[in-house]
Amino acid sequence: MPRLTISLADRTHRALKEAAARQNRSRASIIEESLELRGIRPYDTAKEIVAKARAQSGLNTTDAMALAVEETRRFREEQSR
């Protein structure tokens, strides 16, 4: 498993250590779970989610793309206000 060094504020580090002790878990497992809950997942998982959404939508490729473009445009307009 790859290693990663991160810097945390002292109080965040203490809170992480305390949570790991209370939950009888490693700090790494808590961080990994937190990242997944924030939507940070491997690319393959994202591809699976998109494939499932496509299958459930009933849209063909052309209609799905048109909907995606329209929703993106609408979102960007709302963000620029």
Residues 6+ apart with CB under 8 A from 26: 20
Q: What spatial distance separates the first Cα and last Cα of the chain, rounded to whole Å?
A: 44
Determine if the pTM surpasses 0.75: no
Task: Give the tokens for residue 29.
Answer: 């497992």
Residue 1 CB-density burial (10 A; 0-12 exposed, 13-18 middle, 19+ buried) = exposed
pLDDT digits (tens), the chain, 81 positions: 789 999 999 999 999 999 999 999 999 999 999 999 998 877 777 788 888 888 899 998 899 889 989 999 999 999 888
